[in-house]
Chains A and B, each alone.
Chain A
Amino acid sequence: MVKIRPVLSLVICVLGLAIPSIKCPAQTDGDLLPLPQWAPNEEDLAPLLGGLLPQDPQILQAGPESSSAYSNSEPHLGSGPPLVYPELPPGLQIGDMGLFLPESLLSQSSPASSPLRPPTPEIALERLPPEVFEAAVNASADQRLIDPLGLVSEMPKASLERFLEFHARDARIKTIVLLMDRQHKLPDSVDWERLSAEKASSGDFCLVVYPFGEPWRARVFLSRNVHESASTRYLADMAADCVSDSLQVSEPQDQLHRFVVRLSTRLFWLEKIMPARDSSHESQHGLKEVAESPIEPMADWVSFLAAIGSGWLLPSGIGVSALVALSLLIRRRRDVAGIDRSRVYILPEPNVEPRLGGAFSGGAGASASFK
């Protein structure tokens, strides 16, 4: 190793002297780099730039000065692709054009989701038009999804109707969904008796009045038979579960789909706790709404604790209480068993006058027989 080092140093020095003497060929030919060159007036300049320039030849010929008109204009979206029909027929939307697309493309999620809209303020809510309610009353018995305003596009609507049909075929509690627009609200004076009388032939049923895009305002009505077969809290939990599940997505149609699917599941659960149907007993007509938050003293107390602790205070409080109780129990047992080795007890020394001639004991005590 000692002999090799001088040799390596010599080689490095020779290479260092030789490198500056190597010349680039371009430098030898008049300092020009070997790149292609074009004449300024060549016509095929535009295609070589990859189409990033405007296609209007006048703009290209006018030079960069004329592009100021584009750069100064406000940004805006260009027009969409040309439609087959310049004007869509009424009731048909752009999304409906997907009817003509292959199945594989239909299964893809739509790339452009609608922007999130803030909840409609209470003051902006309008009464539900009477014709919407009339449409619900006059709907045929086998119509499960009532959408008089055409809020749901055709494919999701067909899918939902198939699902509701499937549910009605197997479930005891049929489901009817009445869609209203997001700015609508149910008026106070709704003739539910009339609606329930029309639907009574189908037996027990559940009516959902669903504001499209605002599932938290959905109202769930149940036949009186069904409503009285479960606790108010259970039914409120059922409705709240449907709302929370629908809010997992932001698209109104997806929200509706999730709401209905979850409602179907919960109605099957509800059937399990319902008493068996008595054929001799006539079903009670009328609808009864599922209350949002039933007032129960114990439930309020628990929800209050859950609210102030964001859900973790109650379990942790129970755990701490259990630990404290356990430690107290162990301490008590140790005290009783007299094995508390950490402390001693100093007994007082009372002044007792001796008796019966005993120096240390006067015969105090007790006797018992174990015969």
Chain B
Amino acid sequence: MNCPHCDSPVPTGSHGCPACGFALPTLKPILGDQWVRLERITDAVQALPLRDSRTVEVLLDDFERQFPQAFIAIYLGQLPRQLKPAELGFWLLNHGAFNTPQVAKRNDFGLIVVIDYTSMDCAVSLGYALEGLISPSKVAKSADNLAKFLRKNQLGPGLEALIAQITSLLSRAGRPESRRPAHHQSGFAADMGLRSLRSDHRKLTGDPEASPRTHQ
């Protein structure tokens, strides 16, 4: 995998980029270290027409229905010059609480699309779970395809095509099953109809209780 800042290869388990020293705490002066709550589509520059926004919402619903563990989030905005879209995607996956219909989804099954209208760059960032399912070349191809649509000022169709590509790629990697009722948590709170928020999340590395979990 490559560094979101300098695009140099980053070995597994490295706490910082060997080339530029980039790590998650590097972004703290710009973005802070607090959790932020976001919708699946955050259009800070009002670039997505309403009709396209509804279409993309429907596609995102279908995606999450088809892949109960995964989600896709989209951020459209004008970023500061010192912040790259790939860096924001990396930070959002580690500090964002996305308002998905099933809020218990883990961020390591998340895919963030960041489109920066300042630098005219776009980035597709993956969580740990998805990066093993979608090869870097496929991700690069999807990003290039999105950029082609953006060059034609076709944001909505570009996002639709991207979601379709990701769906196709993940459906090959996933194990198909017939639809079944949602898994209910056991326990007193679950019996009362209460569900915990981010119960499966791993702790942040800076957290004193941090202990990397192994996902089975």
Specify the main secondary structure of chain B where it touches its partner. mixed
Does B122 reach chain A (CB closer than 8 Å)? Answer: yes
CB distance from B8 to the nearest CB of A (A): 11
Contact in complex: B68, A356 (CB < 8 Å): no
Question: Could you tell me if A359 and B66 are in contact, using CB atoms closer than 8 angstroms?
Answer: no
Flag A312-343 by CB within 8 Å of B: 1 or 0 each: 00000000000000000000000111111111
Tell me, in angstroms, the Cα distance from A358 to B68 when the chains sit together.
23
Cβ-defined contact, A355 with B12, below 8 A: yes
Contact yes or no, B127 A361, CB < 8 A: yes
Closest A residue to B96 by beta carbon equals A360
Smallest CB separation, A8 vs chain B (Å): 77
Asked if A352 is at the interface (CB within 8 A of a chain B CB), the reply is: yes
Is B140's beta carbon under 8 Å from chain A?
Answer: yes
**Cβ-closest chain A residue relative to B121:** A369
Residue of chain A at shortest CB distance from B86: A367
Secondary structure call for the A interface: loop
- Which A residues lie within 8 Å of B210 (CB)? 359
Q: How many residues of chain A have a CB within 8 Å of chain B? A: 37
- Docked pose: A342 CA to B3 CA in angstroms: 39
Query: Known contacts A364-B126, A365-B4: does B131 contact A356 (CB below 8 Å)?
Result: no
Residue of B nearest to A339 (CB): B62
Query: Does residue A346 face the partner (Cβ distance < 8 Å to B)?
Result: yes
Number of interface residues of B (CB under 8 A): 89
For residue B69, which residue of chain A has the nearest CB? A347
Task: Say whether, besides A353-B12, A360-B201, A365-B89, A343 and B122 are in contact (CB < 8 Å).
Answer: no
Check B38 for interface membership: any CB of A closer than 8 A. no
Chain A residues with Cβ under 8 A from B119's Cβ?
369
Pairwise interchain contact A343-B178, C-beta atoms closer than 8 A: yes
Q: A361-B107, A363-B2, A367-B86 are in contact. Are A347 and B151 (CB under 8 A)?
A: no
Residues of B whose CB lies within 8 Å of any CB of A are 1-4, 7, 10-17, 22-25, 59, 62-63, 65-70, 84-87, 89-90, 93-94, 106-110, 119-133, 136, 139-140, 142-144, 146-148, 150-151, 163-164, 167-168, 170-171, 173-179, 201-206, 210, 212, 214-216
- Residues on A facing B (Cβ under 8 Å): 335-371
